[in-house]
């Protein structure tokens, strides 16, 4: 009888410990980070896919704006060349490289939109307007995907640091913290707008 009571107590204590150790929770949180990162990548790819069409439409109206168009194409090429995999999410260098390339592409697109302002016929072109609306929607999706990614990173990083999860992680899982998607340093400065005649 004592052995049976002892076994029941042992199983209860073991069950409570195993349930509260966070083993499954930490892994679920890491999968959430990977899923959120997939959404960021998908949105970035959508933007990269829209750029060639946008450049082609602008090219027909603003052929002498070759330098700006080439800057957009080159920025797109550099941005799509940077590949951050799920295993790189813990690397500050990889995330910085991606953020820098994406920031460069955003800057090139902003310069392109300034050029477009000089061409009223282009601004009235239905193809351009459709592409511009799609690009604007994609930029919004990118922003939402980044926010959701950062929220899942926060949740995951906390889950591997809190007790008793931290103990379980150090003994069994060895999960590494993930890096946040941060704004580029240039975003801290207000853009300068100059109007020329």
Q: What is the CATH number of domain 26-188?
A: 1.20.1440.20
Question: Domain segments of the chain: what residues?
Answer: 26-188
Cα 2 off chain centre by: 57
Q: How many CB atoms lie within 10 A of CB 86?
A: 15
Cα separation, 116 vs 129, whole angstroms = 11
**Is the model's pLDDT at 75 over the cut of 60?**
yes
- Which carries the bigger pLDDT value, residue 49 or residue 65? 49
**Is the model's pLDDT at 91 over the cut of 80?**
yes
Q: pTM above 0.85?
A: no
């Amino acid at each position: 009888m004592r052995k049976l009571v002892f076994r029941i107590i042992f199983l209860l204590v073991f069950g409570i410990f195993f349930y509260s150790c966070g083993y499954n929770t930490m892994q679920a949180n890491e999968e959430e980070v990977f899923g959120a990162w997939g959404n960021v990548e998908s949105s970035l790819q959508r933007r990269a896919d829209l750029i060639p069409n946008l450049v082609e439409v602008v090219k027909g109206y603003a052929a002498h704006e070759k330098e700006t168009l080439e800057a957009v194409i080159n920025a797109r090429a550099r941005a799509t060349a940077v590949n951050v995999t799920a295993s790189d999410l813990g690397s500050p260098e990889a995330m910085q490289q991606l953020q820098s390339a994406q920031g460069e592409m955003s800057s090139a697109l902003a310069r392109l939109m300034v050029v477009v302002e000089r061409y009223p016929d282009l601004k009235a072109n239905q193809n351009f307007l459709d592409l511009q609306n799609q690009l604007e929607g994609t930029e919004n999706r990118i922003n939402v995907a980044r926010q959701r990614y950062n929220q899942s990173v926060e949740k995951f990083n906390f889950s591997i640091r809190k007790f008793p999860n931290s103990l379980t992680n150090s003994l069994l899982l060895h999960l590494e913290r993930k890096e946040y998607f941060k704004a580029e340093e240039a975003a801290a400065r207000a853009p300068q707008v100059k109007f020329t005649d």
